[in-house]
Amino acid sequence: MECIFCKIIAGEIPSDTIYKDEEFIAFRDIQPQAPVHVLIVPVNHIVSVNDLGEKDASMIGRLILLAKRIAEQEHIAESGYRLVINCGSEGGQVVPHLHLHLMGGIRLNDRMG
Ligand code: 5GP
Ligand code: ZN
């Protein structure tokens, strides 16, 4: 298994994990871009949004709802936060395992890259 996030999910690489269930894991980004920067990752290895189909619609819904719950736990629900999914090289995706960035705790600028 070459995927770094699959290795984190398997416990082979340490991470600052703040949530885990059968479907998702959430851990703090190793290079945070904001005071709160959490990656929320499906346990199943899906490379990117390009690989999603109709069968994944409810999983993606639960992913967003989990991000909302973690934002509340991290006390950034009221102040606001940003959810980002990068897809492919020009989208800025570096790790080829689908993940949602939850960022907050500071006023984020409007630039997208
Ligand atoms: P992408 O650019 O693919 O959307 O985001 C990948 C993110 O994963 C980056 O923000 C990067 O800092 C983070 N990351 C890469 N390797 C590791 C790691 O081993 N542990 C953790 N916690 N985050 C990682
Ligand atoms: Zn993976």
Write the burial class of residue 53 (CB in 10 Å: 0-12 exposed, 13-18 middle, 19+ buried): exposed
Instruction: Note if 37 is an active site residue.
Output: no
State whether the beta carbon of 85 lies less than 6 angstroms from ligand 1. Answer: no
Residue with tokens 């102040």: 79
State whether the beta carbon of 31 lies less than 6 angstroms from ligand 1. Answer: yes
Quote the DSSP letter at residue 48.
Answer: -
Give the number of other CB atoms < 10 A from CB of residue 92. 11
- Identify residues whose C-beta is under 5 A from ligand 2, the ion: 3, 5-6, 45, 97
For position 71, what pLDDT does the model report? Answer: 98
Q: Is the dihedral of CA 23, 27, 33, 35 positive or negative?
A: positive
Q: Does the domain at residues 4-104 carry the CATH identifier 3.40.50.150?
A: no
User: Two tokens at 8?
Assistant: 């984190």
Q: Residue 113 pLDDT more than 80? A: no
Q: Please report the atom of ligand 1 found closest to the CA of residue 92.
A: 2
Q: What is the pLDDT of residues 6-16, one digit of tens each?
A: 999 999 999 99
Q: What is the pLDDT of residues 88-100, one digit of tens each?
A: 999 999 999 999 9
More confident residue, 90 or 110: 90
Exposure of 113 in the CB half-sphere (CA atoms within 13 A): 7
pTM above 0.95, yes or no: yes
Number of the ligand closest to the Cα of 95: 1
For position 111, what pLDDT does the model report? Answer: 67
Quote the DSSP letter at residue 77.
Answer: T
Q: Residue 28 pLDDT more than 80? A: yes
Q: What is the mean pLDDT of the chain?
A: 96
For position 110, what pLDDT does the model report? Answer: 78
